[in-house]
Chains A and B, each alone.
Chain A
């Protein structure tokens, strides 16, 4: 199934289109963050005069703040779009790490020698038994917190469902007549795996991966919220929500804006995943 074909089908599905649009707009905002946000996300001038400005107000220096400012006078809109870079990058990269590990483990378990399969599936079951949140808290707080660490930790704790799904999918494909034909035509095991079995088993994996991106973004924000992820003053949605926590009374917009952005990203991922899965089932 060519990729452009799949993309078009996704676009025809109402949910798929809404999801793609949502994610596209947010990704574009992240990509062009410096262009669409006049203010810098971390500069503070004249804190007393510019802090806690309501959304849509203009400060004494004539700078317009579409989403207001936080307690240090930093522009919330600028922090939101720069934070989108962190969130999307961390979520996407973490899921990429999970995908690579999961596909490698799943494919090796399905196509390799039986003993290797038993070993790898055992390791997968074992890793699924690890308490993810406990492990996340542990790893994130034991080393110096940073975005890179969060990517590694989320990636290393998220590959197991991918491995299981890949394993089951490839096993199902390997039993199909077309694979036997390919083998009869002289295709080697590697070629059968990479050109035939894997591409045909990949749709549910992609659905799972899209959901996983949303999940990873939420967890990243959660860790940052607890102070174990991206460190201030860098903007991240989690740290923004954390700082909004102290100002819920006088400046609710500081915490509301990043939360709404987060929900929109996860909703976008869910819609795309739903559409991909539905297509795979049809």
Chain B
């Protein structure tokens, strides 16, 4: 067990190393110059040279790469070229907004999705099942940025209920406790609803399929034959077994906590990682892009490990197989 875990950890580290190396090369070899963008078209050749020397961009690529690697391993992501502040700080400031949004939406969409899916998998009303399926397929198909716009159209411009942009009102700093909290929640509502609705479509489809596969299994028939109430059969026996693939998906969605809402954040001007990332890529802000890519890669690998770990926790058979 421990040996297998260490082996996976080692393989994960190799993946992270490969990803950041590839990203570094792509980023530095691609056309576009951060210094040019920083100083603008009026900058002279000497100024550009001086700025490059100061940022260390005139050195050979291998040297730059090794320097970056050394600093990153020690937890130093370097300083943003465009903003002059530590890249790690920029991402750390943006991260809570993204994490809050994505975490809540994953939780809500899976709770809702499992309920809808469980109902669909066990209902005898086939027409209703088909209609609900049409709905979940459509929800799952919607691009986040478009659904976001449609919701803004309805809730902001027609009904005038909810704000559409940012994470807080302009006057947030002058509001007292409760008023400020309600301001925050009102700003959270639309981006959260967008992400939740889209996630709900996928979650319901997945839960329905997983529970449908189990519906006629002998162990469920046996549980019913023993006289267990239907509710208990569904929740304790059917759902628990369907949870195995669902939990894998949850582990795999860990990277989304960091960069999973890029498009929706763009629509709602939500001050999260996505916004920082899009701006950094456009400004060729090497340190920030590299920091974001590194964290993403680490999270992808960690998510895979987490998924495997969760599966062993939920499904003792996998654990026993690994041990034996």
Residues of A bordering B, CB below 8 Å: 125-126, 129-131, 133-135, 137-139, 141-144, 214, 218, 221-222, 225-226, 241, 244-245, 248-249, 252, 255-256, 259, 262-263, 266-267, 270-271
Contacts and interface: CB of A to CB of B under 8 A. Distances in A.
Given A134-B259, A214-B141, A248 B152 contact: yes
A261 to B, nearest CB: 10
Given A134-B23, A142-B31, 16 more contacts: A126-B14, A129-B297, A134-B292, A134-B296, A137-B262, A138-B23, A138-B281, A144-B31, A221-B143, A225-B263, A241-B143, A241-B149, A248-B157, A263-B138, A266-B142, A270-B141
A262 B282 CA distance: 27
Contacts of B15: 125-126, 129
B134 to A, nearest CB: 8
Contact of A138 (B26, B147, B152, B255): B26
Nearest to B143: A218
Given A126-B18, A270-B140, A138 B146 contact: no
A129 B300 contact: yes
B153 interface: yes
B255 A226 contact: no
B214 to A, nearest CB: 15
B27 interface: yes
A88 B140 CA distance: 19
Contact of B259 (A133, A139, A271): A133
B293 interface: yes
Contacts of A142: 26-27, 30-32, 281
Contacts of A129: 15-16, 18-19, 297, 300-301, 304
Given A131-B300, A133-B262, A225-B263, A241 B277 contact: no
Contacts of B281: 137-138, 141-142
Interface string B119-156: 00000000000000000011011110111011011000
B262 A143 contact: no
A241 B263 CA distance: 12
17 contacts: A126-B14, A131-B296, A134-B259, A134-B277, A134-B292, A137-B278, A138-B23, A141-B281, A141-B282, A142-B31, A241-B146, A263-B138, A263-B142, A263-B146, A266-B140, A270-B140, A270-B141
Contacts of A131: 19, 255, 259, 293, 296-297, 300
B36 to A, nearest CB: 14
Nearest to A135: B23
Interface of B: 11, 14-16, 18-19, 22-23, 26-27, 30-32, 137-138, 140-143, 145-147, 149-150, 152-153, 157, 255, 259-260, 262-263, 266-267, 277-278, 281-282, 289, 292-293, 296-297, 300-301, 304
Nearest to B300: A129
Contacts of B26: 138-139, 142
Residue among B22, B142, B146, B292 having the largest count of chain A Cβ atoms under 10 Å: B146
Contacts of A222: 143, 145, 263
Contacts of A255: 146, 149-150
Nearest to A260: B146
Nearest to B256: A133
Contacts of A138: 23, 26-27, 281, 289, 293
B158 to A, nearest CB: 9
Contacts of B137: 267, 270-271
Residue among B32, B141, B153, B262 having the largest count of chain A Cβ atoms under 10 Å: B141
Nearest to B32: A142
A142 B30 CA distance: 6
A-B pairs with lowest CB-CB distance, top 10: A142-B30, A266-B141, A131-B296, A259-B146, A129-B15, A141-B281, A263-B141, A267-B141, A248-B153, A218-B143
A143 B26 CA distance: 10
B147 to A, nearest CB: 8
Contacts of B277: 134, 137
Residue among A129, A141, A255, A256 having the largest count of chain B Cβ atoms under 10 Å: A129
Contacts of B278: 137, 226
Contacts of B31: 142-144
Contacts of A267: 137-138, 141
Contacts of B142: 259, 263, 266
Contacts of A144: 31
Contact of B293 (A125, A134, A218, A245): A134
B146 A252 contact: no
Contacts of A218: 141, 143
A144 B30 CA distance: 10
A233 B18 CA distance: 39
A205 to B, nearest CB: 19
B91 to A, nearest CB: 12
Residue among A134, A138, A144, A226 having the largest count of chain B Cβ atoms under 10 Å: A134
A130 B297 contact: yes
Nearest to A144: B31
Given A131-B293, A259-B149, A267-B137, A245 B267 contact: yes
A256 B142 CA distance: 12
